[in-house]
Amino acid sequence: MAMDVDAMIDRRRLRRKLTFWRVATFIVIAAALIGGIAYIAGASNLSKRKAHIARIPIEGMILENRKTLEMLEKIGKSDAVKGVIVSINSPGGSTTGGEAIYGALRKLSEKKPLVTEMRTIGTSAGYLIAMSADHIVARYNTITGSIGVLFQFGNIERLLDTVGVSMEAVKSAPLKAEPDFYSPTTPEARAMLQAMVTDSYNWFVEILADRRNLAPNKARELADGRVLLGNRALQEKLVDAIGGEEKAVEWLETEKGVAKDLPIVTWTSKESIEELPFAARISREVGKGLGTAIVEPLNDAKGLISRGLMLDGLVSVWQAPVAADNKP
């Protein structure tokens, strides 16, 4: 009987110890998480409050993004931003997306010294955005150019015929909803599309001639859709210098009087952790850790279909050629 009592006492002691260590472990982890979040938020806020050069990444498919435009406006109002580097690595995207960012950067350049740096690729709408600055830097092997406008559409009429499906339409006018995917494109519809593409193209060429100080005929010659490496682009006056970010910084310092050795801070349009309420920061980080980022904003969520595959309207994008299989 005495042994049973001793065993019961030992079990109670062990249970108390386990409870203590579980609570202690939870408190330590929670404190570390809260401290880490507070440190990250504080460091990020501090870096943007001190004098710095703002780096704006323009990467991947270019679309019109309201948050990006709001961020550019915020940079223009920040006294801590002494210069801006637009860092481009993009094949282009929607023409209106490029137009919106180009316009916002031109306004920003009236308030802050601004330079663009093209990395692996800066073509089409990507190059349009690069022209927002008075100085463009590119690597020797940066792919650039591809100046022009594209409107693509598919037609699956033969496929529908094969599976025995026909499409009918009643229209208010012949050009309504043209082109469609189930019937041949009429000459009138093709002329309408060509006029639209030509109008957008002329707008692009006018910007090229104005921003790069080119004669209209020379600008149109270069705007034939060709792609060039950075060194050739330098010869054609599409870029101003060969190099990387350090070359862009050098121009800001020597030509625009930006103080030397300022830190470079990356600004992004994605929701940053320091902008969230304190409780939301904890929930977001814990959620990410568990793989259940419930508070992740919709525009940051991963989807089954890439946004790059959902471009509407006119596009200014360079499409890398795909090698076809050799057929006899």
Task: Give domain status of residue 144, yes or no.
Answer: yes
Asked if 54 and 75 count as a contact pair (C-beta separation under 8 A), the reply is yes
Q: How confident is the model at residue 213 (pLDDT cuts 50, 70, 90)?
A: very high
Let me know if residue 285 belongs to a domain.
Answer: no
The better pLDDT of the pair 23, 164 is held by: 164
Beta bridge partners of 242: 138
Least confident of 16-25, 89-98, 238-247: 16-25
Residue 267: its pLDDT value, please?
95
pLDDT (mean) for 4-16? 66
Half-sphere exposure of 193 (CA within 13 A, CB side): 20
**pLDDT tens readout for residues 51-84:** 999 999 999 999 888 999 999 999 999 999 999 9
Catalytic: which of 124, 132, 146, 316? 124
Helix (H/G/I), strand (E/B), else coil: 53: strand
Q: What pLDDT, on a 0 to 100 scale, did the predictor assign at position 29? A: 78
How many domains does one find in the chain? 1
- Where is average pLDDT lowest: 129-143, 180-194, 231-245, 275-289? 275-289
Contacts of 173 (CB under 8 A, 6+ apart): none
pLDDT at 315: 74
Cα-based distances in Å from 267 to 86, 135, 255, 286, 328: 10, 20, 23, 24, 53
Could you tell me if residue 5 is inside a domain?
no
Please say if 112 is a catalytic residue. Answer: no
Q: Per the domain annotation, does 16 fall within a domain?
A: no
Range of the domain at 190: 51-269+308-317
Given 50, 107, 171, 176, the catalytic residue: 176
Position 95 in a domain: yes
Is residue 248 included in any domain, yes or no? yes
The rounded mean pLDDT for the chain is 81
Find the CATH number of the domain harbouring 70.
3.90.226.10
DSSP secondary structure letters along 86-117? EEEEEEEEEHHHHHHHHHHHHHHHTTS-EEEE
pLDDT of residue 307: 43
Q: Tell me the pLDDT tens digit for each residue of 265-279.
A: 999 986 443 444 444
Task: Return the residue matching tokens 């200014």.
Answer: 316
Q: Average pLDDT of 129-154?
A: 95
Asked if 50 is an active-site residue, the reply is no
Record the pTM.
0.73
235 within some domain? yes
User: Does some domain include residue 326?
Assistant: no
